[in-house]
Amino acid sequence: MTQVLDKPRQEVITLYGNRLRLRVCGLYRQDDQLLMVRHRGIGPTNTFWCPPGGGAQFGEAAPDALVREFSEETGLDVRVGELLFVNEFMLPPLHALELFFRVDAQGGQLLAGTDPEMSPDGQIIEEVRLMSFDEIKSYPPHEVHAMFRYCQSLDDVFALRGYLPR
């Protein structure tokens, strides 16, 4: 029997599956909340929360890619700060090296953006919002980014350094 996949999951696999991808991700904190994006088409429950970010394009510097991705996904204009840590995301058929930077908002208006490489009916961004650490941790571990398993507070997120173990 052939499994029928929904359009967003099909597009994720077609665009990003079975290849190594370089992603840039930004940690934006406002008071005691972290900016998060809810995606569909990823993971077993079709819900995956992670900080904003996306793929760097050939010839594009990582900070420039992050500024572009933040604008596309969140509507915010950001200034990229220090590189904090690297995570290797592996959820077959997806595999990405993720560079996490601290970012500061410089303007724009928070909104749920789009992925320009995806079709209108294949969009995977469902929601963009600020979340408390307790709210993030209330989700099952497979519905939030793996970095949160190393943290007991929002301050711990910003203290992560180096290459995160798998």
Of 74, 71, 66, which is closest to residue 110 (Cα–Cα)?
Answer: 74
Asked whether the beta carbons of 95 and 19 are under 8 A apart, the reply is yes
Of 54, 43, 59, 155, which is closest to residue 99 (Cα–Cα)?
Answer: 54
Tokens 């600020």 sit on residue: 130
Q: How does pLDDT run along the chain (166 residues), one tens digit per residue?
A: 444 458 777 767 777 766 899 999 999 999 999 999 999 878 788 899 999 999 999 999 999 999 999 999 999 999 999 999 999 988 788 799 999 999 999 999 999 998 888 888 888 899 999 999 999 999 999 999 999 999 999 999 999 999 998 7
Supply φ then ψ for residue 17, to 5 degrees.
Answer: -75, 150
DSSP 133: H
What CA–CA distance (Å, rounded) separates 15 from 41?
12
